[in-house]
Structure 1
Amino acid sequence: MGWILVVILLLGFVSCGADRNIKKGDKYLSLGEYHDAAEQYKQAYRRIPPKERKARGQVSKKIALANDYINSSAKAIAAYRNVIRYHQDSPETHLKLAENLMKQGQYGDAAKEYQIVLDSLPGNKAAKEGLLAASEAPAEKKNASKYIVKKMDVFNSRRSDYSPMLFGDQYDQLYFTSTRNEAQGDELSGITGVKPGDIFYSEKDDKGHWGRPQTIESGLNTEFDEGTPAFSPDGREMYITQCTTDPSYPRYAKIAVSNRADASWGKATPLEISRDTLSSFAHPAISPDGNWLYFVSDMPGGKGGLDIWRVRLIGGTTGGVENLGEPINTPGDEEFPTFRPNGDLYFSSNGHGGLGGLDIFIAKVGKDHKFHLEHPGYPLNSQGDDFGCTFEGPHNRGFFSSNRGDARGWDHIYSFELPEIVQTVKGWVYEMEGYELPAAQVYMVGDDGTNLKLSVKGDGSFEQVIKPGVDYIMLASCKGYLNHKEELKVDSVSESKEYTLQFPLASIRVPVMIDNIFYDFDKATLRPESKKALDELVKLLNDNPNVTIELSAHCDYKGPAEYNKKLSQERANNVVAYLTEHGIAKDRLTPVGYGKEKPKTVRKKLTEKYPWLKENDVLTEDFIKKLDKDKQEICNQLNRRTEFIVLRTTYGMFDEKGNLKNPPKPKPQEEKSSDDNTYDIEIN
């Protein structure tokens, strides 16, 4: 009988040990530390004797739940099957098993499980949609779309790499989240069992090759989780998801903002979206106009699971939280919103059917001003989780993340491209004789009704998709500068095409040199090759009808002063004559010949071409004669110039009584929506 007592005691110790593991697992689960919870439940399962089938089945439910949270679908499948094996299953067990079988591409087995649910609950919407998806998935994969998808080994590690986001005026930087060993912190995450995520970045070199990912040497990353970066349209702010650890409280994700200063990202500060402290806020995305922050939350008032919400950004604060509602949100999970520059919203969902796990969907606004969903199919989507798109400007190409084909469930970064015919216009706005003008605006009007106001990037460039068969007028303007207008006629083409335009703006504060004005040697006669530059000046004055200018000609110091002044006056007169012959009113033009009286003052841009000159150097005779012979000749050439300076900007604006001829029209009663990216402009 003694041996029986020993066995009973041993079973008691085993049972107590299992209970301790279960309690620990429950605590980890409540804190959101799913990996640690799964480990505790697994130890408990091993300590429960096989004969205690009910106990084993109940612990298997907990193992399955914890692994479900961390996308370990293979382990979740094994656990759910144990739940069924020990007769502790319910319709929910079979539904969850079916969803995980979909993630593994086991569509036939998934269909059987969905059918079991429907046999018990004929009206179950999730099972109906799941069964339909499982039935259609094989054919959808067979009839693949035209997307080209490639795994990007240069970005990927032996852990998870996900949520890529392109950055930079030339889209030559890629930021993404990674749990690789180089991430900060020494402890492993209780959620995933690996290091907490940090944000890394890679840069593209001059040859178009991406470099090895680097850590961000600033206060942006911490020992906690940071990820899913998104950028404001001006590139000055980075929005991230941040998840700190507290041993006593559940893990709630929050959105934080990092500001860029001196090409470095600073420490992120939390953004208060709501006073709700018991919900998570994650996966930030900024609308193309910069007015809205889209995010993911499980806060009350949603459709169930995780929903996509938005909040208006007002001067660095937020206000007015809105749920996007149907058809985007479902009782399932909707996550990882992002925008294509044309306004299409991309997001991932497990509540709309698809090929398994999270699938990427596209929400486009139709003529009825409502969202309409598209499923881009395989291979952009797969049986795994597919999410986190980023786009290379207006083109349907970029990067996304997926855990397809990874036995451990790690996410990796892939490139994608959908070959399509896209016509774009790319322009640069810059100061004549100066640098780019990122403060400029470009107004774009098309004869199809297009009426847009385009922002200019940090390098002075802008890019916009255009339509074949449309005639466009584009006007660049900036405070302190004259306007510049270009016209563009877009033809139909059989392949993608990019039009390039230049918008040099003339300052109203400093003299502006007119390049390529040529005269006969020692004469005032304009040479034929001057016509192009003179026609550009005619165009400039027509684009700015309220401007009057002083048109001046200058000589070098060689020759008698009186002769040079007379020659330069005749040259200025001839330029003005050309302008008046081409329709410019004579009273808008003041010709002046300065001879050698006003030597050129060097501007900063010129020092890039001639490093031996310094900004604000004045090319006087004394200055020039101290230089080497070759440099003297360069300076003499710089002094021999034709330029203009703006005198007035109100020509023709007032009548004889001093009243404004064309006062602004009163605004119509019906205002445009505040997030409508259209503007009423008139281009003469």
Structure 2
Amino acid sequence: MVIFLLAVCYSNQASAQKITIRMADKSYDEFAFVEAIDLYEFAYEKDPENTYVIRRLADSNRQLGNTEEVEKWLKLLIDRRKEEPEDLFAYSQALKSNGKYLEAEQWLQEYAELRPEDGRVNIQISLLEYIRFLHQDSARYDIRPVSLNTEGSELGATFYRNQIVFSSTHAGNGMIVRKYKWNELPYLDLFVGDRAPNGDIIHVKPFAPKLRTNYHDGPVSFDPRADKVYITRNNVGKSGLKKDDDGVVNLKILFGGKENDRWEYRGEFPFNSESYSTGHPAIDASGKVLYFASNMPGGYGGSDIYFSVFNDGFWSEPFNLGPKVNTQGNEFFPFISNDGVLYFSSNGHGGLGGLDVFSSVPEGGVFKEIENMGYPVNSPKDDFSFVLDETGTEGYLSSNRANGRGNDDIYYVKLNYIPVIIRGVARDRDTRDILVGAKISVANELGDTLFTSITPKDGQFEFEVNKGKDYIINGQKTYYFTNEAVVETQKLRQNDETFVELFLEMEAVDEDGYPEPKRMEEENGEPLQIIENDYVGFDIGRWEIESAAATTIDQLIEFLKKYPDMEIRIESHTDSRGDDEENMLLTKRRARAAFEYIRSKGIDPLRVGYEGFGETRLLNKCDDGVECSEAEHAVNMRTEVKVVRKGEYRGKRSKRNVFYF
């Protein structure tokens, strides 16, 4: 009899346990995860060995972002050796979200050995090194929570003119409170607030009552020029939420517009579906390209980023952004900045935690490479809905990171440094010649000098500055008027270059009586005026100054007698025929002979420079082994005597002259 009673009691307990698990599964299938967790925990208390219940507890908590609980339940499975390969991956991700990176990497490697083909592993396998890399530029950002955050959820901040529109579970104003079974929080409604100078969001009130439903509204995106709004919304019918065949309430994108300063419903995106979600719209600056997230068939993973183009009154078929952006995981919350950079969140590219924010700069209109925004934009938790203002230097993001006020919070983001390059060249305004030795300075909008450089022989300058400001490029040079140019950087992308030509005008000067140079050359990095030049001849193999050569040199010496600061340069060359060393020696003897002749005429030897170059400076192709005519070889046999004056020429310049350095 006792045995019979025990059997009946056990049968009743087993039946009750099955009913509890069945109820928990029903709540789970209806995405009522808070309710499901309560029921699964009750079932676990009755049967702590039930592997199915433990795994469901881990997955339900994962849906709610309770990563500490996910870690606890999956560790229990692993300790009991009841884990499956996907449990190891989920466990490593929970550890990562809880900041336990060393353990996370160890378990990720365990999973990689079982599933080496999983693309999520290849990115994250050197996790610790990657985490250090993502922390190295943390000073680039200032991040702080806005004051409107509540114990519920605030997310999806976006810019509309001088205001911020966002979604919140804080109903207020006597609105009917319906709770979302997923997390037992109220549904999201749209609110609008003013943007304070410090980035806070103030004077908050409900946004666009005519666009409001009793279910999730937002996030949104605006085309302010056309006063259009693109809204994420639950699939709602006349009788309430509409579910697909699997019991899922999908998302849709709807349109709104302004009529008499009031927002009104204007239709929906033609590629919405009853069987999959489209949401998180982001319209580009042209108002013609709509980016969005969707789990429509044919993607690379759970949810992918797509875009559609508006042309001739119709939206094009959606285009998937491809495997560089989309992964086997989920990509959400696209945002396209004014300069065309794509920002989005993903849990498939690897990073600091759950969802991380990534950016991608288009190359030829295609997003080929992505970059993790790093810490502190990203955290071990979920970070998403990143947006920037028109300058690209301030914005907002949403996150459920630690020490927040609620489930999801909105954070103000200030980008302290976005490097862009200012390149340019300094030129003479009249001749358009490049200017060597010009002092180029960069000043901010307040006139504070940030950088200074001196232009080299190519006249160019280059500075790295912070995007988002106007910079003053100042040029100064002896004998020239100072000039400035203003460079705007707001529309540049990170590491973009902008080029400026800075023209300086020469000051008016009195004629000093010196002749105008034939051309300009350079000597030891300094400008050199070539006042006059001529060539002297020598007999083959000889270096004596004959009468013809003496006559030529005497004419050039007259310049030195008339102008005390002029000098002479002697350069002697041979062709390539004959022995190299003998040719070098011959030219040095010829240059020396010309020097001695000039000195014999009473010229200070310090005013005379001379050099023999042998066959090292040929003027044509006639090098060793190259067949050339006598005339072609003769071009290279020359001794040139130049009358020069150091420094730049300041007199009146004729158009025929070519000045170069």
TM range (shorter): 0.5 to 0.7
Query: Aligned-pair distance for 1:174?
Result: 0.8
Query: Aligned-pair distance for 1:303?
Result: 0.5
Give 1:588's aligned residue.
none
In 2, the alpha carbon distance for the partners of 1:396 and 1:362 equals 14
Name whichever structure is richer in strand by fraction: 2
* AA matched with 1:164: A
> Structure 1 residues 176 and 232, CA, compared in 2 at 3 Å: closer, same or farther?
same
Give 2:157's aligned residue.
164
In 2, the alpha carbon distance for the partners of 1:207 and 1:240 equals 27
The yes-or-no answer on 1:44 pairing with 2:43 is yes
In 1, the alpha carbon distance for the partners of 2:119 and 2:201 equals 45
- For 2:156, what is the secondary structure of its paired residue? strand
Structure 2: which 5+ runs fail to align?
421-467, 475-482, 493-661
- For 2:15, what is the secondary structure of its paired residue? helix
Give 1:327's aligned residue.
324
In 1, the alpha carbon distance for the partners of 2:98 and 2:167 equals 24
Counterparts of 1:181-220 in structure 2 under 5 Å? 181-182=171-172, 184-204=175-195, 210-216=201-207, 218-220=209-211
**Contact 1:71 / 1:409 at 8 angstroms: preserved in 2?**
no
Q: Tell me the alpha carbon deviations over residues 427-446 of structure 1, each in whole angstroms, 9 at most, x when there is no partner.
A: xxxxxxxxxxxxxxxxxxxx
In 2, the alpha carbon distance for the partners of 1:371 and 1:220 equals 37
The yes-or-no answer on 1:288 pairing with 2:278 is no
Give 1:491's aligned residue.
486
Query: Aligned-pair distance for 1:158?
Result: 0.8
**Contact 2:469 / 2:490 at 8 angstroms: preserved in 1?**
no
The yes-or-no answer on 1:404 pairing with 2:401 is yes
> Structure 1 residues 12 and 261, CA, compared in 2 at 3 Å: closer, same or farther?
farther
- For 1:213, what is the secondary structure of its paired residue? strand
Give 1:590's aligned residue.
none
**Contact 1:167 / 1:235 at 8 angstroms: preserved in 2?**
no
Query: Aligned-pair distance for 1:176?
Result: 0.8
The yes-or-no answer on 1:345 pairing with 2:338 is no
**Contact 2:299 / 2:320 at 8 angstroms: preserved in 1?**
yes
In 2, the alpha carbon distance for the partners of 1:34 and 1:292 equals 36
* AA matched with 1:106: K
In 1, the alpha carbon distance for the partners of 2:199 and 2:331 equals 34
The yes-or-no answer on 1:65 pairing with 2:62 is no
Which of 71, 74, 97 is matched with 2:68 structurally?
A: 74
The yes-or-no answer on 1:357 pairing with 2:354 is yes
Q: Tell me the alpha carbon deviations over residues 68-125 of structure 1, each in whole angstroms, 9 at most, x when there is no partner.
A: 2232222222222233244331110010111122112111121121122123334443
Give 1:535's aligned residue.
none
* AA matched with 2:254: A
* AA matched with 2:27: Y
* AA matched with 1:260: K
Give 1:173's aligned residue.
163
Give 2:108's aligned residue.
114
In 2, the alpha carbon distance for the partners of 1:329 and 1:155 equals 33
In 2, the alpha carbon distance for the partners of 1:133 and 1:289 equals 39
Query: Aligned-pair distance for 1:194?
Result: 0.8
Which of 388, 411, 414 is matched with 1:391 structurally?
A: 388
**Contact 1:185 / 1:222 at 8 angstroms: preserved in 2?**
no
Q: Tell me the alpha carbon deviations over residues 265-299 of structure 1, each in whole angstroms, 9 at most, x when there is no partner.
A: 2247432215x421111111112211111111111
> Structure 1 residues 21 and 230, CA, compared in 2 at 3 Å: closer, same or farther?
farther
> Structure 1 residues 216 and 6, CA, compared in 2 at 3 Å: closer, same or farther?
farther
Which of 111, 134, 144 is matched with 1:150 structurally?
A: 144
- For 1:156, what is the secondary structure of its paired residue? coil
Identity of aligned residues (%): 26
Query: Aligned-pair distance for 1:131?
Result: 2.8
The yes-or-no answer on 1:226 pairing with 2:221 is no
Query: Aligned-pair distance for 1:148?
Result: 1.2
In 2, the alpha carbon distance for the partners of 1:205 and 1:314 equals 37
Q: Tell me the alpha carbon deviations over residues 420-477 of structure 1, each in whole angstroms, 9 at most, x when there is no partner.
A: 4799xxxxxxxxxxxxxxxxxxxxxxxxxxxxxxxxxxxxxxxx9989879xxxxxxx
* More displaced stretch, 37-46 vs 372-381: 37-46
In 2, the alpha carbon distance for the partners of 1:303 and 1:391 equals 27
**Contact 2:191 / 2:207 at 8 angstroms: preserved in 1?**
yes
* AA matched with 1:229: V
- For 1:81, what is the secondary structure of its paired residue? helix
**Contact 1:58 / 1:83 at 8 angstroms: preserved in 2?**
no
The yes-or-no answer on 1:12 pairing with 2:7 is no
Counterparts of 1:244-323 in structure 2 under 5 Å? 244=236, 245-246=241-242, 249-267=247-265, 269-274=267-272, 276-314=273-311, 317-323=314-320
* AA matched with 2:291: Y
Give 1:105's aligned residue.
99
* AA matched with 2:223: S
> Structure 1 residues 99 and 497, CA, compared in 2 at 3 Å: closer, same or farther?
closer
In 2, the alpha carbon distance for the partners of 1:96 and 1:360 equals 20
**Contact 1:58 / 1:88 at 8 angstroms: preserved in 2?**
no
In 1, the alpha carbon distance for the partners of 2:392 and 2:404 equals 32
In 2, the alpha carbon distance for the partners of 1:409 and 1:5 equals 53
The yes-or-no answer on 1:373 pairing with 2:370 is yes
- For 1:76, what is the secondary structure of its paired residue? helix
In 2, the alpha carbon distance for the partners of 1:369 and 1:128 equals 23
Q: Tell me the alpha carbon deviations over residues 606-647 of structure 1, each in whole angstroms, 9 at most, x when there is no partner.
A: xxxxxxxxxxxxxxxxxxxxxxxxxxxxxxxxxxxxxxxxxx
Counterparts of 1:604-619 in structure 2 under 5 Å? none
Structure 1: which 5+ runs fail to align?
424-463, 471-487, 499-684
Q: Tell me the alpha carbon deviations over residues 593-614 of structure 1, each in whole angstroms, 9 at most, x when there is no partner.
A: xxxxxxxxxxxxxxxxxxxxxx
Give 1:26's aligned residue.
25
> Structure 1 residues 92 and 408, CA, compared in 2 at 3 Å: closer, same or farther?
farther
* AA matched with 1:65: D
> Structure 1 residues 279 and 292, CA, compared in 2 at 3 Å: closer, same or farther?
same
* AA matched with 1:332: G
Which has the larger Rg? Answer: 2
Q: How big is the alpha-carbon RMSD for the aligned residues of Structure 1 and Structure 2?
A: 3.4
In 1, the alpha carbon distance for the partners of 2:282 and 2:191 equals 18
Counterparts of 1:258-657 in structure 2 under 5 Å? 258-267=256-265, 269-274=267-272, 276-314=273-311, 317-366=314-363, 369-406=366-403, 410-420=407-417, 490-491=485-486
Give 1:519's aligned residue.
none
* AA matched with 2:165: Y
* AA matched with 2:40: Y
In 2, the alpha carbon distance for the partners of 1:280 and 1:421 equals 35
* AA matched with 1:177: S
Q: Tell me the alpha carbon deviations over residues 142-188 of structure 1, each in whole angstroms, 9 at most, x when there is no partner.
A: 55241111121x221111111110111xxx21111111253844332
> Structure 1 residues 321 and 467, CA, compared in 2 at 3 Å: closer, same or farther?
farther
Query: Aligned-pair distance for 1:316?
Result: 5.9
**Contact 1:41 / 1:63 at 8 angstroms: preserved in 2?**
yes
In 1, the alpha carbon distance for the partners of 2:491 and 2:296 equals 45
> Structure 1 residues 320 and 142, CA, compared in 2 at 3 Å: closer, same or farther?
closer
* AA matched with 1:299: M
